[in-house]
Structure 1
Amino acid sequence: MIIIIHREGIPFLIYAFVIMLLVIFISIFLFSKSINLFISIFFIVLYVFFIFFFRNPKINFYDNTSYNENKEKEIVSPADGKIVDIKKIFENEFIRKDCICISIFMSPFNVHVNRFPISGKIIYVKYHPGKYIIAWFQKASLNNERTTTVIETKKKQKILFRQIAGFLARRISIYAKKGSLVRKGEEFGFIKFGSRVDVYLPLKSTILIKKGEKVIGGKTKISIIP
């Protein structure tokens, strides 16, 4: 099976390979054969994990090639992971009114590619520097390093979603550009090593998933907006 590596991972994997190879080479002269073998196996396992983490598997993305009013209202998950919260909350950065917030937690073992949950025009993009609280906690959405993106649909509905860095994550990559027209399922970013994505939906939205459910980015339908 061929593993496709995401572009965010290629520089990291090259640097990690060189550093690990150098450490293994130096350990040959400093330690016994048994210790050197342990170090070599450890780095091999660690490198395989890095490859696994930066994988970008091809999936059959949600089909939105032809216009369909019902499909246009369907929101898909922006990330692989687990639904950790679904609740009513006041969104105070852009929408500034009560919304339904769906929080998706990505562990280090999930695919970390982020995808647009709906098609439309990007009307707002902002990066916020911050802390690195464990992404599972709700306060991470206000205190952690994060990005906020808002898409306006053809029906003028505004859908906000937020990348949130976690305890291990130290870099958020976002490709969304204000003014761009985007399609559901396309990549909009990547977060390294554990993180969360929140989606803010209109109050009258129909929720199709439940807390604790596992979802697939660009594929699992999570809601239908009014």
Structure 2
Amino acid sequence: MTGCLITEGNGLSETSPVATANVLNATEFSGTIGLPVPGSDVAIRDDDGQNVALGEVGEICVRGPQVMKGYWNRPDETSKAIFADGFFRTGDMGFMNERGFTKIVDRKKDMILVSGFNVYPNEIEEVAAEHPGVVEAAAIGIANEHSGEVVKLYVVRRDPELTEDALKAFCAERLTNYKRPRMIEFRDSLPKSNVGKILRRELR
């Protein structure tokens, strides 16, 4: 589409703004957010601030000279966002591969907890989007008395004849049981931000 290789990176306001980037001499698309920029460190951590094993999913944390010192006049929020050793919690869940490249899995706040298992909406959405009758999809967690949460899927159809049962069967072939959507709601469109990102919070 662009006629050239796309080089991905990642950052946010609190990292003003770049934390990681792929190398500029890459010859193929990596699908990752790359390596820490010079002078910066990336750690993948659990909720207690402990580093997880290589390849294991945890929260992406960043430390470096471009990372903010804290939130203005909000020491309470600062203590929640920055570990004592200076690593900032980005709110993104991901993992680091054996080459040190980091891949984002999903946003932590969007994670669905089903019977103690972490379910990442992106995975469900990608599977649903593989169906030829689907334009796009968004997955959220719905409270359930037995499993804590279950997956609900919002779908914009390409094929108006596509049924809930047919799409559930399609997902069941590709997803383990606890990840399968228990409810599917068809819509004409999904709520989006100004840059076209699906707003799961509005669906919740």
TM range (shorter): under 0.3
> Relative contact order: is structure 1 or structure 2 higher (C-alpha 8 Å, sep ≥ 6)?
1
Say which one has the larger Rg. 1
TM-score between the two structures when normalised by the length of structure 2: 0.24
TM-score between the two structures when normalised by the length of structure 1: 0.22
